[in-house]
Amino acid sequence: MSVGDGDEAPISKKDLNEVIAHLHPKEKLVLIGLQKGFVDAKDIARELGISLDAVIWASQLLKSKGLVEVEEHVELKYTLGDEGRKYIETCFPEVRLIAKVKSAGGEAPLSELELERDESTFGISWALKRKWIEIKRRDAERVLKLTEEGLKSLEKPYLPMQVLLKLSRGEQLSHEEKQVLAELKRRGDIVRELRVKHVRLKLTKTGAEVAKLIKPTEEVSELTRELIITGRWRKVYLRPYNVEVPTTIPVRGKKHPYREIIDEIREVLIGLGFEEVSSPPIEVNFWNCDSLFMPSDHPARGIHDIFYLKGTAQVSEVAPPEIWERVKTTHESGWTTGSTGWGHWDPRLALRLILRSQTTAVSARYLSVLKPEDLPKKIFTIDRNYRPDRIDSTHLPEFNQCEGIVVAENVNLRHLIGFIKSIAEAFGIKEVKFQPAYFPFTEPSVVGYIKHPKLGWIEALPGGIFRPEVVRPLGLDVPVLAWGLGIDRLAMVALDIDDIRMLFTNNLEWLRSKSIPSIWRW
Amino acid sequence: MPTITIDLSELREMVGPVSIEELVEVITQLKGEVKGIEGDELTVELEPDRPDILSVEGLARALKGYLEIEPGLHESSLKPLRDSGLTVKVINAKVRPYIACAVVKGLKLDDRAVRSLMRMQEVLHLTLGRNRRKVAIGFHDLKAIHPPIIYTEAKPTDTMIPLDMPIEMSLKEVLEKHPKGIEFKHLVKGGYPVYVDKQGIFSFPPIINSERTRVTEESENLFIELTGIDAKAVKQTLNIIAFNLIDRGGEVELVKVEYENRMEVTPNLEPRKMKVNLNEISNLIGIKLDEKLAKRLLAKMRYGISKISKSELEVLIPAYRVDVMHMVDIAEDIAIAYGYANLTPELPNIVTVGKPSIMEILEAKIRQSLIGLGLQEVMTFTLSGRKLQAKLMNLDNLELVEIENPITLDLNVYRRWITPHLMRFLSQNKHVAYPQKIFEIGYVAVPVNGRIEVLRNTAAAVASSKATFTEIQGILQALAVDLGVNFKLKKWEHPSFIPGRTAAIIVNGEAVGIIGEIHPQVLNNFELEVPVVAFEITHYKPTYPNSREKPKSINDKIKALWMPTQTKKRGKLELAYPQ
């Protein structure tokens, strides 16, 4: 905003103070600097200890407010170019040329002169221009002949050389020398012209009045306790930062991204009324297989399917005697379940210690202590299981499973499908289709397929109603709906990884830089 | 998951014209997955619960029922069989004591049929036969057999001319030289079960048949023998084979099996009877089943019905349905025939309140606290190796829970403590910016007095050029405040930590963990170049859902059973707790 231009009527002190209130600290500094008499912007910058750019920027603002006049002029400066510097050492090629011709007796054929490259090109052309030599033709050869002029020139100082020397010393050139400069400018890289911009500032009348009233502002970078409590912060200028440059990310704590997914799943299941349970992953074959009515010779009980530990458990530690006996009889002949049974059972195998291979073992243990008065009950577990699978991008020897059961009177297959569907819906999956499936411990069994936007229909939600051969020996006589969630698979999709090994990665950089995932986003 | 290959053209000959879409749909309903179609060959992956459909004949039979082309009980279920007149005497059979035999006449075998026979034999061997251990099957050309037939133990020096290696060799040599002998000799440990007729040995089950009785396209009549260690299984497998060959146009005839103390006649293709209650099945599936609907659905799945009274049905289960053990198996078949896609999902009218487990509530607090202190959570394997658990941590020896059948040698134990896994994690991030602060919550297992104790531990580590005891102690103190736990530190010695800069963490008078600066020998072992400080505590002792013990947490009284420490008297590591 323009306050006063040039030589107007003097302005009141009140107005002046207003002007000062709106001045940027750098503007204030420049006004003060001009008071001290400096004119060139460069000089002001140096004296005030601030950058030339800051001075020029402030002066533009001051100009728009009518407080200073800004004059710009461009100075032409000359320095030596590469050739120029060379010639200072070696002399101009035309001078060297005629010196050589003179030594050769004032006249010589070209071939005999042993000329440097620049002598034979620029040297000859400039020597000709100065009329220092003549060229004759003799025997198909060019012959150079020194003229009177040329001879005389060797005894005089060469004006172009003077110019170079003066330029190298930074001395002023005479008028005559300036003419020579014009000629030199056209010759290769002998002299270089620089356009130097000079900015000169001058206070206007108003500017001078304002300048008299200014007290300079202190510039600080830290807002200290002292500044805050004394109020001195009002009198200083907090140096601005370059807020647009990124900085380093601080070291911080974070949940493991897989854990984030597990916690989201837990939240959904708890919200659906399921109670969380857990159980140590070191198991006994009895609970992992036998109580689930898997026959002793089931193919999935071999050394390629279950990790066996050295040692066995005691019957008394494994199960109460009634349950042990009932499971035994159920396997052998069906007991009172109404089944044919398998016709055999290996109690020694049942006592083998193993690493749990399916969380259904947890459900079995839980069922064995449920009483009819506890019903209805819905429980779930998410925990670690183990299988001796070869390690590749979709298999690991240890992995997580999620499963749950609904224990209640009068629940049926349609309810099972209903539960699986509602769990899928809770995760935003609307399309689920169900097909028959097989699991040794459920009948009927289902598997729910979900539609993935990229992968199409994928098998993801197994389930079934526990066989009576499983439930009755454990002391209950109600239907038990069981369902599972392939959470390793779900986590891989949510974390956008296609190798299961990444779930257990040791890559700290990946963990640090992974944005917090969510099961809802996929 | 057994996978079978069948000739599409053969299947269509047996079933009738059926489109690929129909085929795929029905196979899916029978729990199968069509893996591929190449020319005339269809590859299907099936579940092991229906061994009767693991061949083109069985699959065709099931298809005809489901598609209602030929619903209801297979006619041969009720047709009495003729007696072949053959008797097999069983004398001194020890190694594989149970057999079942049959004669099948009038087969017209072409190249495709012979191939099917072999596939059928292979897949039954693999599934019901448990890789021939439980049941082994032999097909023989009947005309090459000269009764009387005896099944008995032979001597290793007795000879035969085995299939595919047509020179006479002793049974011992067969086990040593014939590929099938080498593969299956472990199944006849110590014995040499054989079928012998007037001309000598013609079968050495489960190893190999003889060249003499080889089945070819020219064979019209077959003698089938099954041997095994399970009486029921051999008969059941024979039933499946019998029905398959009947569907191929053969006529099955009975064979008498004379054991030392009893007589059996095989095969028995009569259906089993099972009474089922329609209301029970309706309640199980969630649909209203009336008599008419039940009959139709059972017929689709090829069951028969003999008696009906009010809501009770007597179902006739075909002899080849060896998988049906309980009413629920029939119920599932009814649901499949009804069509799962026709079952409308419903939520039952039960209300339960969900809640997290105590363990998770506690661990959520630990997690929150340590994340708030700037630590990154990591997840490493619970499976470990002895080298990682002990040697790299500067421990001479450590009692560990060992796995008998590990997949690799460096995953052959269950970890006893988490800190070595954190050290390995740090050693794999040497070129990542420091400080590195990490933690893990997870399972550990400790062998204690012949038992295995499973615990939940928390381990934390800080690696940085400025890492000191004070820093990790500060983290532990903050964690204790957040958990509402009072603890004391007692100076301690542990080979993995720097002497004089190690302490045991005591809560309620028990050592729950250890804290300190990691020993430079350990840093060297892991090729780490900055100091590391760490602590590990047991915060929870889990129990089984059906255990009488109650779980314990760090707020009660708990012990860090995993903490090894060196006693000065013996060189061995022992568990010793600070007093």
Q: Are residues B469 and B555 in the same domain?
A: yes
Instruction: State yes or no: A466 annotated in a binding site.
Output: yes
Burial of B67 (0-12, 13-18, 19+ CB in 10 A): middle
* B404 in A contact zone (CB under 8 Å): yes
Residue A7: φ, ψ to 5°: -105, 75
Q: A180-205, pLDDT tens digit by residue?
A: 888 888 888 888 888 888 888 888 88
Q: Best mutation site among B332, B424, B538 for testing chain A: the one with the most A CBs within 10 Å?
A: B332
Q: Average the pLDDT over A271-282 and give the result.
A: 95
CA gap B22, B3 in Å, rounded: 20
Between residues A123 and A44, the one the model is more confident about: A123
Q: Which of B238, B266, B294 corresponds to the end of one domain?
A: B266
Structure tokens at B231: 């009486």
Q: Which amino acid is at B480?
A: A
* Dist CA A406 CA A184 (whole Å): 100
Q: How far apart are CA B140 and CA B264, in angstroms?
A: 21
Q: Do A308 and B425 touch (CB under 8 A)?
A: no
Q: Residue A274: which of B28, B48, B354 has the nearest Cβ?
A: B354
Report the alpha-carbon distance of residue B184 to residue B186 in Å, rounded.
5
For residue A404, give both structure tokens: 């749950």
B401 touching A (Cβ < 8 Å): yes
**Structure pTM?**
0.79
% of chain B surpassing 70 pLDDT: 97
CA B174 – CA A242 distance, rounded (Å) = 88
Separation in Å, CA of B239 to nearest CA in chain A: 17
Tens-place pLDDT, residues B98-110: 999 999 999 999 8
pLDDT attached to residue B564: 66
Alpha-carbon span A9 to A14, nearest angstrom: 15
Is B436 touching A (CB cutoff 8 A)? yes
A395 touches chain B (CB under 8 A): no
Using a CB–CB cutoff of 8 Å, tell me whether B341 touches chain A.
Answer: yes
* Alpha-carbon gap, residue A274 to A114, rounded angstroms: 104
Question: Which among A384, A390, A408 is the nearest to B348, CB-wise?
Answer: A408
Using a CB-CB cut-off of 8 Å, the residues of chain A touching B356 are 266, 270, 276
Q: In the A/B pair of chains, how many CB contacts fall below 8 A?
A: 261
Residue A462 CA to residue B49 CA, distance in Å, equals: 16
Whether A253 sits inside 8 A of B134 (CB atoms) is: no
Backbone conformation region of residue B286, classed left if phi is above 0, alpha if psi is from -120 to 50, else beta: left
Residue B380 and residue A504: Cβ atoms within 8 Å? yes
B329 marked as part of a ligand binding site: yes
Report chain A residues whose CB lies below 8 A from the CB of B372: 253
Tell me if chain A has a CB within 8 Å of the CB of B477. no
Q: Answer yes or no: is pLDDT of B223 > 90.
A: yes
| Surface of A (293-352) touching B: CB under 8 A | 297, 299, 303, 307-311, 319, 334, 337-341, 343-344
Which of A150-159, A473-482, B356-365 has the least mean pLDDT?
A150-159
> How large is the average pLDDT for residues A87-93?
89
Are A504 and B230 inside 8 Å of each other by CB?
no
Domain count, chain B: 4
> Around Cβ A137, how many Cβ atoms within 10 Å?
8
Check residue B154 and give its pLDDT. Answer: 93
B401: its two tokens: 């829970």
Is B378 in Cβ contact with A256 (below 8 Å)?
A: yes
Per-residue model confidence (pLDDT) at position B571: 44
First to last CA, chain B: 57
Pick the CATH number of A82-192 from 1.10.10.10, 2.40.160.50, 3.90.1170.50, 3.50.50.60: 1.10.10.10
Chain A residue with the nearest C-alpha to that of B326: A339
Please tell me what DSSP assigns to residue A389. P
Put simply, the answer to whether A344 touches B283 (Cβ < 8 Å) is no
The answer, yes or no, to whether residue A381 has pLDDT greater than 60, is yes
**B residues 6-45 closer than 8 Å to A (CB):** 28-31
Average pLDDT for A3-25? 66
Helix or strand run (H / E) with residue B72: none
Torsion angle of C-alpha atoms A42, A44, A50, A51, degrees rounded to 10: -20
Strand extents, DSSP E, A98-151: 107-109, 133-138, 141-146
For tokens 């197994």, the residue is A462
For B393-432, the pLDDT digits (tens) are: 999 888 999 999 999 999 999 999 999 999 999 999 999 9
Contact residues for A358 (Cβ-Cβ < 8 A; gap 6+): A288, A385, A401
ipTM of the complex: 0.91
Q: What is the mean pLDDT of residues A357-375?
A: 95
The predicted structure's pLDDT at residue A236? 83
Q: Is B163 in the same domain as B95?
A: yes
Q: Which runs of E-coded beta strand occur in B411-525? A: 413-414, 436-448, 451-463, 488-491, 497-507, 510-518
Residue contact B328–A511, C-beta within 8 A: no
CATH fold group of domain A13-72+196-238: Arc Repressor Mutant, subunit A (1.10.10)
Q: How close does chain A come to B429, measured CA to CA in Å? A: 6
Q: What is the mean pLDDT of residues B157-168?
A: 91
Alpha-carbon gap: A221 to the closest alpha carbon of chain B (Å): 28
Nearest to B366, CA basis, from B503, B539, B515, B506: B539
When pLDDT is cut at 50, 70 and 90, the band that residue A11 belongs to is low
A280 interaction partners in chain B (CB closer than 8 Å):
443, 454, 542-544
**What number of residues does chain B have?**
579
Alpha carbon of A441 to those of A274, A359, A471, B90: distances in Å?
A: 21, 13, 10, 37
Q: Where are the domains of chain A?
A: 13-72+196-238, 82-192, 258-281+359-513
Question: With an 8 Å Cβ cutoff, are A297 and B134 in contact?
Answer: yes
The answer on B216 and B108 residing in a single domain is yes
Q: Are A319 and A290 in contact (CB under 8 A)?
A: no
Residue B254 lies in a domain: yes
Instruction: Give yes or no: residues B400 and B496 share one domain.
Output: yes
A414/B425 touch (CB, cutoff 8 Å), yes or no: no
| Mean predicted lDDT score pLDDT of chain B | 92
Task: Looking at the structure, tell me whether residues B408 and B541 fall in a common domain.
Answer: yes
H helices of B128-185, in order, are 171-177, 179-184
Same-domain status, B99 and B117: yes
The pLDDT of B314-339, averaged and rounded, is 96
Query: Are both A13-72+196-238 and A82-192 of the same fold?
Result: yes
Residues B169 and B188: their CA atoms lie apart, in Å, by 17
C-alpha B302/C-alpha B281 separation (Å) is 17
Average of per-residue pLDDT values in chain A = 88
Q: Has A441 been labeled as part of a binding site?
A: yes
How far B297 CA sits from the closest chain A CA (Å)? 15
Q: Degrees (nearest 5) of the Cα angle B8, B12, B13?
A: 115
Closest CA to A255 of A267, A245, A243, A263: A263
Whether B480 contacts chain A with CB within 8 A? no
Confidence of residue A4 (pLDDT cuts 50, 70, 90): very low
Can you give the pLDDT at residue B579? Answer: 30
**Chain B residue with Cα closest to A365:** B546
Does B279 reach chain A within 8 Å, measured CB to CB? no
- Average confidence (pLDDT) over B258-267: 94
B99 and B26 co-located in one domain: no
CATH fold of A258-281+359-513 reads BirA Bifunctional Protein; domain 2 (3.30.930)
pLDDT at B368 over 50: yes
Judge if B287 and B229 occupy the same domain: no
Give the residues across from A381 on adjacent strands.
A403
For residue B292, the domain's CATH number is 3.30.56.10
Out of A305-314, B474-483, B512-521, B565-574, pick the least confident: B565-574
Give yes or no for residue A373 having a pLDDT over 70. yes
B371: contact with A, CB 8 A cutoff? yes
A8 — pLDDT class (breaks 50, 70, 90): low
Phi, psi dihedrals of residue B450, rounded to the nearest 5°: 80, -5
* Burial of residue A293 (number of CB atoms within 10 Å: 0-12, 13-18, 19+): buried
Asked if residue B529 is part of any domain, the answer here is: yes
State the pLDDT at residue B1: 82
Q: Cβ–Cβ contacts within 10 Å for residue B7, how many?
A: 18
Percent of chain A with pLDDT over 90: 43
Q: Which residue of A has its CA nearest to B421?
A: A506
pLDDT recorded at residue A521: 54
Q: Assess A418–B contact: CB distance below 8 Å, yes or no.
A: yes
- Domain limits at B303? 279-342
> Which tokens is A477 given?
């006589």
The reply to whether B570 falls in a domain is: yes
Nearest beta carbon to residue B454 from set A281, A369, A445: A281
In a domain, B52, yes or no: yes
Asked whether the beta carbons of residue B371 and residue A255 sit closer than 8 angstroms, the reply is yes
Q: What letter represents residue B68's amino acid? A: E
In the prediction, which pLDDT does A216 show? 67
Which of A 465-494 lie inside 8 A of B, CB atoms?
Answer: 465, 467-469, 479
Cα dihedral B211/B212/B214/B219 (nearest 10):
160
Among B340, B383, B437, beta carbon nearest to A435: B340
Q: For residue A410, list chain B residues with Cβ-Cβ distance below 8 A.
A: 283, 348
Distance CA A344, CA B177 (A): 35
CA neighbor of B315 nearest in space, from A338, A413, A343, A473: A338
> Taking CB atoms and an 8 Å limit, are B354 and A343 in contact across chains?
no
Residues in B closer than 8 angstroms to A406, CB to CB, are 348, 350
Q: CA of B145: how far to CAs of A260, B82, B195, B503, in Å?
A: 70, 19, 10, 83
Find the range with the poorest average confidence among B194-208, B307-321, B454-468: B307-321
Boundary (domain end) residue, out of B222, B241, B266: B266
